[in-house]
Structure 1
Amino acid sequence: MNFQDLHELVRLELLRRIERGILTGSRLAQQTGFQQAHISNFLNRKRALSLEGLDRVLAAQDLRIEEILPVDLAAGAAEPSCGPETEPVELVPIVSPSSAMDDISIAASATIETIPIATSRLYENRARPSARRTHWQRFLAIRTDAQQATAMAPLLPTGSVAVLDRHYNSLAPYRANQASIYAVRLGPMLLLRHVNFDERHLILKPYVRDFPVQLLPLVANESPGDYIVGRVCTVIADV
């Protein structure tokens, strides 16, 4: 496969994400730091990206080349004597918001269903756990309800699965110029929001501008990590 073929595969994958409502051209421009016109020209085959630009797009969308290779090319990499290799997967439990907030480990009785995710995709995520979370089960998932989706559309479509990394409880930026989505405890509720911290308040920011910003005051000796359940590391829309 040459660079032009790879370029087209990435373009088509981005267009699929836009059609599903989980990405917009303006959002991609914001994530990558390109001008929106540059991204629009790329998506419409009017302008090509450099190899560095393609890397920025892949990193912004948490994409690996192996995930978008045609099946025949991916299979061709396996040794004939061994048959097609299967990448190890981890069955991530989908749980209720209350279990995500409170359960140190997820019991079978608390698992609503499971979703298979490549082990390498999970553990390539960097961890920054708070001291009280280091022994908690790291990865689990919740389904986004209408309220979550309304506040964070189109990043979190209704019914999509948000995979949480409960070993990332820090507000340190995970990627430059790209706001993370966090799962945050607000009383009995679990909210998925962008988060800032200022003057002893967590600022819970929706992606949709018309949706209200919420403030979560911290008392003495509390830190943001006491309320941040984890970082949304993957969103899967079609499950």
Structure 2
Amino acid sequence: MNFQDLHELLRAELVRRIERGTLTGSRLAQQAGFQQAHISNFLNRRRALSLEGLDRVLAAQNISIDQLLPVELTAAAQVASDDPTETVPVVSASAAMDDAEIDASSVIETLEVSATRLSDNRARASSRNAHWRRFVAIRADAQQAAAMEPMLSPGAIAVLDRHYNSLAPYRAHQPTLYAVRSGAALVVRFVDFDEGRLILRPYSRRFPVQLVPLAAHESPMDYLVGRVCLIFSEL
């Protein structure tokens, strides 16, 4: 994660607010003290904002950097020498979706993660997942990453909390990022639920929103594999 990525995260968040009808480009320009054309060019990726301009936009919309990041991003899996660690298995998408326990034969690689960072996560487990191994990880392939760039890059490792299968927001006023069952595939998306359908939202505007209708006997928890609680982007 670098300043260019943060720039894009802010732009995407502002575009989402405009699409939801809670903000307009002209209002944003007025709040931040820019010409409307300047803001329009920024929102449409025709020009970037200076650091001062980014600060003005953040202040105008009362956005902090941590609000732009729905998951904890880290560049390496390094932990302090006095911090106990927990071994998280990196597994296939199918194992993450379907295996309550992770056999040694299913482990592709392992990741040492701060035990404190894992224990700090709050759980909202479905009855199905309550006794599953809680934390597993997947390595994102190009297809999974493309819809979520720059938040998720190809080869990044996403740690999943399989004891969080609720649509209740993990943090107030922030979207929650989930690993979701989509047919036979596992996708990483923001998720809403409306009129009996799961709405799977990508981060990139180049990808369409997916609608997943639920059968009468199904619930959203049947599809939510777990919350993405950590992303390691350079392993």
TM-score w.r.t. length of structure 1: 0.72
For 1:169 and 1:223, the matched residues in 2 are separated by 11
The CA distance in 2 between the partners of 1:98 and 1:163, in whole Å, is 15
Q: Distance in 1 between matches of 2:173 and 2:7?
A: 16
Q: Identify, as 1 or 2, the structure richer in helix.
A: 1
Counterparts in 2 of 1:114 and 1:215: CA distance versus 1, 3 Å: same
The aligned counterpart of 1:206 is: 202
The alignment status of 1:134 with 2:130, answered yes or no, reads yes
Q: 1:63 to 1:235 in 2, by over 3 A?
A: closer
- What SS does structure 1 have at the residue aligned with 2:147? helix
172, 183, 188: which one aligns with 1:187: 183
Deviation at 1:238, TM superposition (A): 0.4
Contact persistence 1:128–1:170 (CA under 8 A): yes
| SS of corresponding position for 2:190 | strand
Unaligned runs of 5+ in 2: 18-27, 34-48
Do 2:181 and 2:223's aligned partners in 1 also have CA atoms closer than 8 Å?
Answer: yes
1:97-136 → structure 2 map (5 Å cutoff): 97-136=93-132
After superposition, the CA RMSD in angstroms is 3.3
Is the CA contact 2:72–2:229 (under 8 Å) kept in the aligned structure 1? Answer: no
Provide the secondary structure at the position in 1 that maps to 2:2: helix
User: How far, CA to CA, are the matches of 2:125 and 2:100 in structure 1?
Assistant: 13
Is the 8 Å Cα contact of residues 135 and 162 (structure 2) preserved in structure 1?
Answer: yes
Offset of 1:42 from its aligned partner?
6.4
| Equivalent-residue separation in structure 2 for 1:89 and 1:201 (angstroms) | 39
Q: Percent identity?
A: 49
Q: What is the count of residue pairs matched by the alignment?
A: 198
| Contact 1:93/1:141 (<8 A) preserved | yes
- Call closer, same or farther: CA 1:168–1:40 in 2, change over 3 Å: farther
Q: Distance in 2 between matches of 1:97 and 1:171?
A: 21
Where does structure 1 lack aligned partners over 5 or more consecutive residues? 1-16, 69-73, 75-83
Partners of 2:202 and 2:209 within 8 A in 1? yes
- Structure 2 counterpart of 1:10: none
Ranked by relative contact order (alpha carbons within 8 Å, sequence separation 6 or more), the top structure is 2
Which consecutive segments of 4 or more residues in structure 1 shift more than 6 A?
A: 35-39
- Which residue of 16, 21, 24 maps to 2:6? 24
Query: Does 2:157 match 1:161?
Result: yes
Q: Is the CA contact (8 Å cut-off) linking 2:130 and 2:163 kept in structure 1?
A: yes
1:229 aligns with 2:225: yes
Q: Tell me how far apart the structure 1 counterparts of residues 158 and 102 of structure 2 sit (CA, whole Å).
A: 16
Aligned to 1:146: 142
Counterpart-to-counterpart distance in 2, 1:40 and 1:136: 47
Distance in 2 (CA, whole Å) between partners of 1:43 and 1:26 is: 14
Give TM-score scaled by structure 2 length.
0.73
